[in-house]
Amino acid sequence: MEATSAFVGTRNRRGDRLSLGSVAYDRDTQTLAVVFDPPLPPGTTATLALRPRRNPQLDGTYLFRVVAFPPEPDGGSAHGQFLGFGRFHFDRPEFFRWGDRWW
């Protein structure tokens, strides 16, 4: 997960780079967990930049859930807040297509 980074702002308006405390991927649950260190203040717009190990075999739009957790309070666990869906879109260039087959 060394290719994961984050910054304040959006991809078109990049701000300061954010420090990541840890990044972990769980293959069984297909979950990526990112911990910001220090935690982000409320209202901060942040972008998480990911680099996949490989692209999917089929083109299309892939959706994933984004859930944020506040820092855990002493002696308890925090509840996550669903923020919405993120998306990756993959296209196959037309020059790889021959009839009904992709090359």
pLDDT digit string, tens, across residues 10-57: 989 999 999 999 999 998 998 999 999 999 988 899 999 887 777 788
Q: What is the pTM of this model?
A: 0.71
Cα–Cα distance for residue pair 28/57, rounded to 1 Å: 20
Which domain, by its residues, includes 66? 58-103
Cα–Cα distance for residue pair 43/48, rounded to 1 Å: 16
46 and 69 in one domain?
no
Is the pLDDT reported for residue 67 higher than 70? yes
Domains of the chain: total:
2
49 and 10 in one domain?
yes
11 and 48 in one domain?
yes
95 falls in which pLDDT band (50, 70, 90)?
low
What's the pLDDT score for residue 71?
Answer: 79
102 and 62 in one domain?
yes
Provide the Cα torsion 59, 61, 64, 68; round to 10°.
130
Percent of the chain clearing pLDDT 70 (strictly above): 83
48 and 1 in one domain?
yes
Tokens of 90: 């993959």
32 and 9 in one domain?
yes
